[in-house]
Structure 1
Amino acid sequence: MKVLDTVHTRLTWAGPVDLPLHGEADVQAACGIMHVHGRRYGQPTRLALDYATLVAEELLDQGVLAAKIARIRGNPLDSVSTSVAQAALLVISQYLAAATAGDDRPEPLLPGGPPFVSSDGVRFEIESLDPFVWQCFWSVLCAEPIAVRDGWQSFLHRFATATCPLPGKLVDLVGELPFACLREVAAHTGMSIVRVLSRSPTGIPAYRLTPLPGTATLPAASATAPLAGITVLEVTRRLQGPLAGHLLTLLGAKVIRIEPPGGDLLRGAPPISGDCSARFLAVNRGKQVLRIDLNTAQGRSEVLELAAGADVFLHNWAPGKAEQRALDAGDLARVSPGIVYAWASGWGQEFGADPPLGTDYLVQAHSGLAARTPSLMTVVDIFGGLVCAHGVLDALLHKALTGEGSRVDSSLLSAAVRLSSGPLGTSSPEVPICTDLTELAADPRFAAALVREGCVFPCSPWEFST
């Protein structure tokens, strides 16, 4: 077998799920996507985009790259398979983990949510992760304090729950004002605001590879998993970056996750499984964790020392933060020639050095995705993690062939643009629709695709063979 011979691939609808799934609608219905996406509507609703299929195709492409990397390193993998059902379970993994955590605290899932509509008919999204900014924005608009208080928790938690029932007084208030006025208030108070575009930006590739100086060889394969023996240094938060690292973990890489002293705050986000957030575990289990203060000279030195022994450095810092910390691609390449340096950003270069907050729903709005198929599922965050991991694998294959390192630039926007070009489906499911993720987790027909480790997670979506 030559290292770049064709890798045999197999993509099915059901994979290890023992159900008669014959299309996107069946998969969305049976595997929980309709249930989660439909929370904002109060009933299971088909995501118009053929999302599970797009995710499965992305996973299959990644499997091919991983198999080729493994071959070069001495692991003669011949084939890879995955399924659309496994892709769907990966998509809902955070929601599935939360539903099966066994946490007694209730998680209300009432329907509702943005985009908002101004008095002149402009649909738009707003974003802040700071309660003070939220309060200031609505206070300038003379909103009732009780409505502002009640709206914040729902707004903040929509990333976790896929629904956002806001007080009607807030929705009505912005509906009485023109968009130009709302944009001015947002600028004054620090609120990010983005209008929903009807068309997607053009000329944005899924990711960009840029050569870095220096060369190095990848370590020889040390086990059967395709990336076994490869070390990834990950400094990420929220979902996009951690998911990219999680996919590399599932492919066998050793992922060392750097967190601040005291740990990532999202470790404490309910529901809790054992002593950690179930949602956090969904994309961070299996990683080695080190706690380092990157705002100190000693912390920077520790990271550079770790990077000297790593094959990949992955982060999703805000624009300018890497340069501020002197941990940009050039800094890492000097201590680790041939390294793959990956930045998973929100906007890429779309808004220059001072972009709006780079979060899922703002990117959905600007990319045109919210005009086609709006969702309070984190569809862009998830696909952004997939695109980032794909870029890293592409760069690792290049390194395996040439020894050369690369910088990998991907973004939520680049992921959303790719999603926006995907087909819209109209078919209806021919299988029963999942309405309870705890029942899905206990269904024996899903047993081969799931694993219980405190709460329930999907197994690796790939099967490799020699």
Structure 2
Amino acid sequence: MLDDVRVLAWGASHAVRLCATLIERAGARISVAEAASPDDFAHDVIIVSSDVCTAAQRSAIAELKAAGKYIVCDITAMGPQASRAGTAWSDAQVQAISGLMDTTGFANGEPVRIGVPFAEISAALYASAAIAAALRVKRLRGIVQNIDVTLFGCAASALTTFLPAAFAGAAAGRVGNRHPACAPWNAYRTRDGWILICTSTEEQWRKIRRVAGVPRLDAPRFATLRDRVRNVDELDRLIETWTATLNTDECSALCERIGVAAGPIVTVKGLSAEPNFRMRHADAARQIDAGGIDRETYGHVSVFGVSRLADNAHAMSRTTVDSDALAPHVGPLTGIKVVEIGQYTTAPLVGKHLAALGAQVVKIEPPDGEVARSWTPGQAGTSYFFALNNTDKQTISLDLKQEADRAYLRTLLADADVLVENLRPGALAKLGFGREALGEINPRLIYCSISGFGIRSAYPARPAFDTVIQAMSGLMDLTRSNGEPVKLGASGADILGGQAALFAIVANLAGPSRQAGTFVEISMQDVAAWCALFASGNPAPAGVVVLCIDGHVWLDSDERLSADALVECATRARCASLTRTSAVAALADAGVRAVPIARVHELIADSDFLADVLSVARDAKGTFWPVLRVPYRLSATPARICNVPGEPRSPMVSAACVSLT
């Protein structure tokens, strides 16, 4: 992968440290310096955070960027051009001003800070992928470029389930452990605790309704997904009359048997006893049992696994490079061909970024199209959610239960560089596309499988959605509202899992010519647990949320002011009778820095969101769509978001336009 690449992590921010950890996992050699001059090291890449360093270091970083000798990746809160640039912002403050904090918490409660440094972790993952892309460009074209990554852009980009309402002119509120577009989807009481149950299709709803055996669930007011979302309060009460008759293990086992995603809430300390975590990370589990969780425990958990694709694959390298891939300013992955078999968030997120980086991405959808296409709101028969996650792809519909369509997929895969999918483990193998078969079809293929619990799993038959993984990885344990665990408002486990997959794929593409196919395995639970363990071993100051007449503001606690002292300051400033803007000013006069907690719909008028995050694309009919830029900027070979795909075409209609040959 990135063997023999020399990287300097220069700075003390979490994002720099985590980015270095990820790149080291891909084979790079890492040097770490918090204060030394970068000239003290030999390196290819320098990772910095220029907004949290001294003036002298900022000057040195500017000189390094101008020299064009190294790939310099600068991870900052707001980016060099933002209206808020030049100020150090904590992860919690970025969560507040990006709208991310306001989406987390219960509908009748206050906003909640996510219990892991989500913006910094997300920035580290995206920065790692961007660095790998820049290394590929350097190897193929000899171009050395700089990279800017913003925490604000990473946080706002995670709002794909909430921004659609803002695009439609509505205000999206907090939903607690619910999903804004699916029901039933919540935490339900059992006889001995809580269970997360998540459904997204009519088939899953019918299964839950059948096993629950609650007659009132057959009422017409629950007949459609839209009806269930509209009547979700009553629906959840009825579901809980069933779950309350079972213990958590019984309910989990029953849901697993019928193919519905479900699972218990696990504490971070309890990860060592969680069956799947212990099976996949026995060393980390033993260390937690023996000495608890410290600042380095997370390093014993890998966010991706890499192995040979197939034992029967013949060694084969690609000896030619597409001439377009050598052009000076095209995307880093121009000439790369990708097949995506994905739905919802994880694999589609990977495909979106690979396409933005220049790859040709063909998305395979079922005959009726991906379910998320029909979610509301949207336009022209397609949801905003689907558009946000699937820009710049070619889409075709295949029924992989039919041999003719499987044969068409084999043709696509024969000339592909990458296959990425987030189906249930074993689903592709049952269709004739297991690792050995893929190795025969294409000996040099990079095959990336993303699943909730991994291929080698204690739960081989258990489906998993984002909320279940958040529950079973420690994320919800660290994110609490008045002591009660609550999921991240954003689909955190899905997004982080997709980002880990993106990095692993691009890192493989950045290395020298491959001699054999590669299998990349992503377990979303692994990635989420990695984040939870890092946060638990590297705790952030508590901080407080303060109520104002038009919303809330966030105050970071520090060694000078504890959370209790901040509450007292807010009370003296009479924040409850002030607007957020006035409260921030009043607290500043008292020597306390506060930031407003933005609502998602307010981002549409935020200058930094408009400049750094929001963009516009068009579909084949000329309709304009609001879309999101990628939160990393490569100075010489930028990623681009241009198009929203239309309805998927059948292979007979679109053979010419989707051929990967």
Normalization by structure 1: what TM-score? 0.87
Would you say 1:83 and 2:140 are equivalent positions? Answer: no
Match of 2:205 among 128, 131, 153: 131
Which structure: larger Rg?
2
The count of corresponding residues between Structure 1 and Structure 2 is 454
User: What is aligned with 1:244?
Assistant: 350
AA of the residue aligned to 2:75: L
Task: Check 1:157–1:347 CA distance in 2 against 1; reply closer, same or farther (3 A cut).
Answer: farther
8 Å contact kept, 1:21–1:431: no
Match of 1:256 among 362, 383, 388: 362
CA–CA distance in structure 1, aligned partners of residues 249 and 259 of structure 2: 15
User: What is aligned with 1:209?
Assistant: 306
User: What is aligned with 1:145?
Assistant: 217
Report deviation, 1:313: 1.1
Report deviation, 1:251: 1.8
Would you say 1:308 and 2:414 are equivalent positions? Answer: yes
User: What is aligned with 1:440?
Assistant: 603
CA–CA distance in structure 1, aligned partners of residues 529 and 157 of structure 2: 21
Task: Check 1:325–1:179 CA distance in 2 against 1; reply closer, same or farther (3 A cut).
Answer: closer
Percent identity over paired residues: 23
Instruction: Name whichever of 380-389 and 415-424 sits farther off.
Output: 415-424
Task: Check 1:411–1:59 CA distance in 2 against 1; reply closer, same or farther (3 A cut).
Answer: same
Task: Check 1:431–1:184 CA distance in 2 against 1; reply closer, same or farther (3 A cut).
Answer: closer
CA–CA distance in structure 2, aligned partners of residues 320 and 340 of structure 1: 17
Task: Check 1:439–1:455 CA distance in 2 against 1; reply closer, same or farther (3 A cut).
Answer: farther
User: What is aligned with 1:24?
Assistant: 91
CA–CA distance in structure 2, aligned partners of residues 30 and 174 of structure 1: 38
Report deviation, 1:359: 1.2
Q: Structure 2 unaligned runs (5+)? A: 7-43, 46-70, 179-185, 272-276, 282-300, 480-485, 544-553, 556-593, 618-623, 637-661
8 Å contact kept, 2:147–2:634: yes
CA–CA distance in structure 1, aligned partners of residues 110 and 242 of structure 2: 27
8 Å contact kept, 1:312–1:340: yes
User: What is aligned with 1:391?
Assistant: 504
User: What is aligned with 2:379?
Assistant: 273
User: What is aligned with 1:9?
Assistant: 73
User: What is aligned with 2:562?
Assistant: none
8 Å contact kept, 2:455–2:521: no
Report deviation, 1:116: 2.8
Task: Check 1:164–1:361 CA distance in 2 against 1; reply closer, same or farther (3 A cut).
Answer: farther
Match of 1:464 among 631, 634, 649: 634
AA of the residue aligned to 1:380: A
Report deviation, 1:143: 6.6
Report deviation, 1:82: 0.4
Report deviation, 1:177: 4.8
Instruction: Name whichever of 356-365 and 196-205 sits farther off.
Output: 196-205
Would you say 1:70 and 2:137 are equivalent positions? Answer: yes
What SS is found at the alignment partner of 1:244? helix
CA–CA distance in structure 1, aligned partners of residues 5 and 456 of structure 2: 38
Task: Check 1:227–1:123 CA distance in 2 against 1; reply closer, same or farther (3 A cut).
Answer: same
User: What is aligned with 1:55?
Assistant: 122
AA of the residue aligned to 1:439: E
Provide the alpha-carbon RMSD of the alignment: 3.2
The correspondence of residues 313-462 of structure 1 with structure 2, limited to 5 A, is 313-349=419-455, 351-352=457-458, 354-373=460-479, 374-375=486-487, 376-398=489-511, 400-423=512-535, 424-425=539-540, 426-427=542-543, 428-429=554-555, 430-435=594-599, 437-449=600-612, 450-453=614-617, 454-462=624-632
AA of the residue aligned to 2:396: L
What SS is found at the alignment partner of 2:534? coil
8 Å contact kept, 2:374–2:382: yes
AA of the residue aligned to 2:630: S
Task: Check 1:181–1:12 CA distance in 2 against 1; reply closer, same or farther (3 A cut).
Answer: closer
Task: Check 1:67–1:164 CA distance in 2 against 1; reply closer, same or farther (3 A cut).
Answer: farther
AA of the residue aligned to 1:464: L
Report deviation, 1:42: 4.0
Report deviation, 1:262: 3.6
Task: Check 1:149–1:174 CA distance in 2 against 1; reply closer, same or farther (3 A cut).
Answer: farther
What SS is found at the alignment partner of 1:410? strand
User: What is aligned with 2:546?
Assistant: none
Task: Check 1:331–1:350 CA distance in 2 against 1; reply closer, same or farther (3 A cut).
Answer: closer
AA of the residue aligned to 1:216: S
Report deviation, 1:389: 0.9
Q: Which digits, 9 at most, give the CA deviation of each residue in 1:324-351, with x for residues without a partner?
A: 1112233233232311111111211454
Q: Which digits, 9 at most, give the CA deviation of each residue in 1:398-440, with x for residues without a partner?
A: 3x344443111112112212222132432344221112x2321
Q: Larger relative CO (CA 8 A, sep 6+): 1 or 2? A: 1
Task: Check 1:155–1:74 CA distance in 2 against 1; reply closer, same or farther (3 A cut).
Answer: farther
Task: Check 1:408–1:155 CA distance in 2 against 1; reply closer, same or farther (3 A cut).
Answer: farther
Report deviation, 1:172: 5.9
CA–CA distance in structure 1, aligned partners of residues 451 and 526 of structure 2: 9
Q: Which digits, 9 at most, give the CA deviation of each residue in 1:157-213, with x for residues without a partner?
A: 69xxxx988544544664465435545654676655422222222525211111244
Q: Which digits, 9 at most, give the CA deviation of each residue in 1:320-377, with x for residues without a partner?
A: 2221111223323323231111111121145457331121122222222222223143
CA–CA distance in structure 1, aligned partners of residues 436 and 229 of structure 2: 37
Normalization by structure 2: what TM-score? 0.63
Would you say 1:282 and 2:388 are equivalent positions? Answer: yes
User: What is aligned with 2:263?
Assistant: 194
8 Å contact kept, 1:150–1:167: no
CA–CA distance in structure 2, aligned partners of residues 287 and 267 of structure 1: 14
AA of the residue aligned to 1:368: G
Q: Which digits, 9 at most, give the CA deviation of each residue in 1:225-269, with x for residues without a partner?
A: 211221111111121111111121222222111122342232121
CA–CA distance in structure 2, aligned partners of residues 165 and 33 of structure 1: 28
User: What is aligned with 2:284?
Assistant: none
Instruction: Name whichever of 220-229 and 283-292 sits farther off.
Output: 220-229
8 Å contact kept, 2:196–2:468: yes
What SS is found at the alignment partner of 1:245? helix
8 Å contact kept, 1:221–1:227: no
CA–CA distance in structure 2, aligned partners of residues 171 and 96 of structure 1: 30
What SS is found at the alignment partner of 2:207? helix
Report deviation, 1:294: 1.8
8 Å contact kept, 1:82–1:463: yes
CA–CA distance in structure 1, aligned partners of residues 173 and 78 of structure 2: 31
8 Å contact kept, 1:100–1:456: yes
